[in-house]
Structure 1
Amino acid sequence: MNESTQQKQSAYDPFLDERMHHLKQPTQPNGYSNQDFYHPYGGKMPRKGKFVAGLLAFFFPGLGHFYLGLMQRGFTVMLCFALNIVAIVYSVSLPGGGSVPLVVLLSLLVPAIYFYNLFDALQCTDRVNAERIYGIVPEGMTPLISNGGFAFKGSSLGLILVVCGVCVLMFSVNPAWLQFIFSSGGPYFGAVLLIVAGLFLLLKTRNK
């Protein structure tokens, strides 16, 4: 065996060869290759089932994301859903039944969070499978696995936890000014919340 043949054999990388072969395969209209990505040094990555993810998300918000491995995303959905229910119960338990517009707004957030959790879990299944099986994410899809399934970094997620902890503490202590906000200032609080959410969406769309 001559020296050039030995150099070719030593430079051969089965993983790189498999990737090059995968990239040369024709793609489907959805951006996926016709063949699953296979790591030559390991087994085939299992797919995450859409039915299972949707079923778990149907039972309780956030469970579908946990099944997909998106722990931060699922935990945030669970936290928002639970805090919304706590805010409704607190508002109704106030003397006079609380502010009707605020109770209606908080009640509408319950199905909004629930169905967002359901459809988001179904959509995240495609992106998670693309990262796990094909090794790439098709154009137009945001990577999920690398950041725990959420756009927030660790510091931002910590800030969310701090804010939620403060809210739970305020509901437990029940100060007079908080009762005033939920009883007398409820309509203004709901209006300000909608205005802030609308401005946030406008600024986010304009920055794209």
Structure 2
Amino acid sequence: MALSRLAREFAAEINNHDWSDAPYRTDRAGHRRENDPNAGQRPPLGKVETDAVRMNVMWVVAQVLGHADPNLDEFEFAEACGVDTRTPSGRPRSGVISAGLRTDHDTGAYDVPGALAADDPNEDAYDRRPDRVATDAQRTRTWPADPKTRGFTTRRGQCVHSHEQCPKYRYGIASAERHGRRIHPIQWTTTGQAHAAGKAVCSFCWS
């Protein structure tokens, strides 16, 4: 999906800015060392350090954009910002990009900008939200033939899993722990009951 106009413009500004002297040079938006008469006062950062600064700026902006627009493609945005999204071995779409964003481990929704869930003054209201249901696309997945097949879900989870060691579920738990998110308790059920509740089957557990 194409980036929104706002996301494109943020990315263009981040990509255009020279971050190599960001820790000690306060200039303007669109700063470029080659156009700065005072650039020679301090040596620039190395490529690794400069890339790290750019990535952090990208994450901060992506957090807000993703909260405002759940359709944001964080990889497309990062690439537009000039961030390398490949793994160290050269594979596309490194998990590091997604790991730098605070999201709900059950729903994938972006956290409210400016606060972790653990610090959210509206935490009680957060827990009173209705149970999460699956998207239309997720509901097209093939269900097990027996509606009494055992599985589990959570209040805010969109999918039903067959076992607690499911890599997708474990990744969500690890992400929640890393970012201080609340982990919702498991609710054991059947696939038939989960289907009736508007959930979808996990694409890993039942592929």
TM range (shorter): under 0.3
Instruction: Select the structure that is richer in strand.
Output: 2
Larger Rg: 1
Larger RCO: Structure 1 or Structure 2 (Cα < 8 Å, ≥ 6 residues apart)?
1
TM-score, normalisation: structure 2: 0.25
Instruction: Select the structure that is richer in helix.
Output: 1
